[in-house]
Structure 1
């Protein structure tokens, strides 16, 4: 029994057989495929970033909630300190002592923060700017030689 050979499949319309396509057609197809690939990758990146953004927002909200609850905890500790001093002093004197201590801590933190901010100003990457200027000068010197 003789076996029949099947004809080679013909490419569907819009899809040229790469073996028989011209260079221009192949370049056009490559350009289209690269464009589609880049668009798809950008869509995927956008979806990923959107999902990560939602999770980051939720996490930030939880950190904010934790900060509020911690603030209430600090208030409770301050109240406990006042109540503890009230055992040996009048309540008003206990509250005054605790307030002075808190203001002293706030003052130290404010002065330390001010010092850190002064060290961070001006907010210009001085070393990077200096490096770029040196690079520009080097290029200028090499061009003028």
Structure 2
């Protein structure tokens, strides 16, 4: 049984034209570029999801804090009004909610700092690809 290709690889390489080799390299580089773009998209999507979650937490904390301040403040002021003047009761309640809001803000800000908009893995692989193109033998 004979195959359409030569058995000896050196004969196959000799039969391959320069144009075919350049075409193969061009195809390989195009495929590599497409893969790098897909990797970058995946990384950016992942980081955007982290940013969205952090922003959602900050927004939720703000809204929940607002509702809590309004409703619980009235209840606390009315409760403290039984033992002290209403002005002092309102001031104490406002200070407590201010502290809670500051803690929520600090936690949300800390989470937002973990978001990395740079697709690091893609940058690393592109650098490796460029290094390989400069010196393909290693």
Higher relative contact order (CA 8 A, sep 6+): 2
Larger radius of gyration, structure 1 or 2? 1
TM-score (norm 2): 0.45
TM-score (norm 1): 0.43
